[in-house]
Amino acid sequence: RTAKGDLHLDRVTKRFGDFVAVDDLSLTVPRGSFFALLGPSGCGKTTNLRMIAGLEQPTSGRVMIGDVDLTGSRPYQRPVNTVFQSYALFPHLTVRENVAFGPKRRGESGAMAKADEALALVQMSHLAGRKPPQMSGGQQQRVAVARALVNRPEVLLLDEPLGALDLKLRREMQVELKRIQTSVGLTFIHVTHDQEEAMTMADTVAVMNHGRIEQQGAPAELYDLPRTRFVARFLGQANLFDAPIVGTDGDYLIVENAGQRFGVKKSRSTVTSGTVSYGVRPEKLRLDETEPTDLRPNECLVGPGRVTDVSFTGVSTQYIVEVPGFPPASVFEQNLDVDPIVTHVGDEVWLRWNASHAF
């Protein structure tokens, strides 16, 4: 049987001595999706990929594609290929020979034609005769991807593949890898510690921490409704407040802070009492220099507070606002006006937000 279908990790654990690198982790990656595994350095991302590739055996648990159990099979028996950050190209071979290397070694007919096809896919046909040392990092990256694709795997694993590139090239390659994935329709599992990269590229992001997955979902879902403080902070800036729950209202919890009640969207339907951390992203807060009188039914308001810091960042300006009874809040306002900064340090301000933006 050839393995085709969704990739499953079923309660996979990996121990190195006493150290648990991957901890009872279960995961489903839909066939044909662009899946990002996102987490800080040391959280177990590479170990996870190596178990999918067969370079490392799980201490317990299973690796499946569709209903085929791959646990225990050798790397070359798996319909899986890996692109490493180091590219690992042969410097003395041309680009075409590098890409044809795998099919040739397996004695496949038409190895060169297959290599040319893979090179066309990554838009590198024009450099087929060059050798890797004569190419830029981004070009070598494309060749490394072609060399993996030529094997026609079911699943392509990419372990921080853009880590060696400068920011501008990274951005270009993010778009480019996404284009390639869409055109070949294979399952891509992309490992990164860069939240922006994961959110830009992937259909689904799984956030890993200490060998476990804290949350998995579409990028906007994770950003707008994180389930843990870790996920909230790892995906971007978040103003987080601690407050007791004083009631519930449909999809909302009601919390009390500094004598006021606020609606907060539930990220876990099971939590209905106790103290919670709730959060609002900086760009979801609005500043008013006078007390607003036009509040909509779902809007929350606190104030007056004082602006304690203003930093111009180009696209937006960041304000730090201190309101009595609350920790300092960060506010981003988009710079749409000719004179973007009208609020200054020391000014009195009110903060408002829509309850549907509080999680």
Q: Which residues bind ligand ADP (CB under 6 A)?
A: 16, 19, 21, 39, 41-47
Is 46 among the residues that bind Mg ion (CB under 5 A)?
A: yes
Structure tokens at 314: 């180009």
CB atoms within 10 A of CB 112: 15
Beta bridge partners of 352: 286, 301
Report the partner that residue 47 touches, choosing among Mg ion, ligand ADP, none (CB closer than 5 to 8 A by kind). ligand ADP
Residues 77 and 223: their CA atoms lie apart, in Å, by 38
If the CB atoms of residues 82 and 174 are measured against Mg ion, the closer one turns out to be 82
Contacts of residue 272, Cβ cutoff 8 Å, sequence gap at least 6 = 245, 248, 253
Beta bridge partners of 309: 320
If the CB atoms of residues 85 and 318 are measured against Mg ion, the closer one turns out to be 85
If the CB atoms of residues 149 and 213 are measured against ligand ADP, the closer one turns out to be 213
Residues 244 and 233: their CA atoms lie apart, in Å, by 21
Question: CB of 140: closest distance to ligand ADP in angstroms?
Answer: 22
Q: Strand order of the sheet with strand 316-322? A: 286-288, 348-354, 299-312, 316-322, 329-334
**Residue 21 identity (one-letter amino acid):** A
Question: CB of 131: closest distance to ligand ADP in angstroms?
Answer: 30
Question: CB of 159: closest distance to Mg ion in angstroms?
Answer: 6
If the CB atoms of residues 119 and 189 are measured against ligand ADP, the closer one turns out to be 189
If the CB atoms of residues 130 and 212 are measured against ligand ADP, the closer one turns out to be 212
Contact 238, 232 (CB under 8 A): yes
Report the partner that residue 42 touches, choosing among ligand ADP, Mg ion, none (CB closer than 5 to 8 A by kind). ligand ADP
**Contact range with Mg ion by CB under 5 A, out of 28-36, 38-46, 294-302, 350-358:** 38-46
Residues 304 and 315: their CA atoms lie apart, in Å, by 26
Question: CB of 38: closest distance to Mg ion in angstroms?
Answer: 12
The residue count for binding Mg ion (CB under 5 A) is 1
Question: CB of 339: closest distance to ligand ADP in angstroms?
Answer: 45
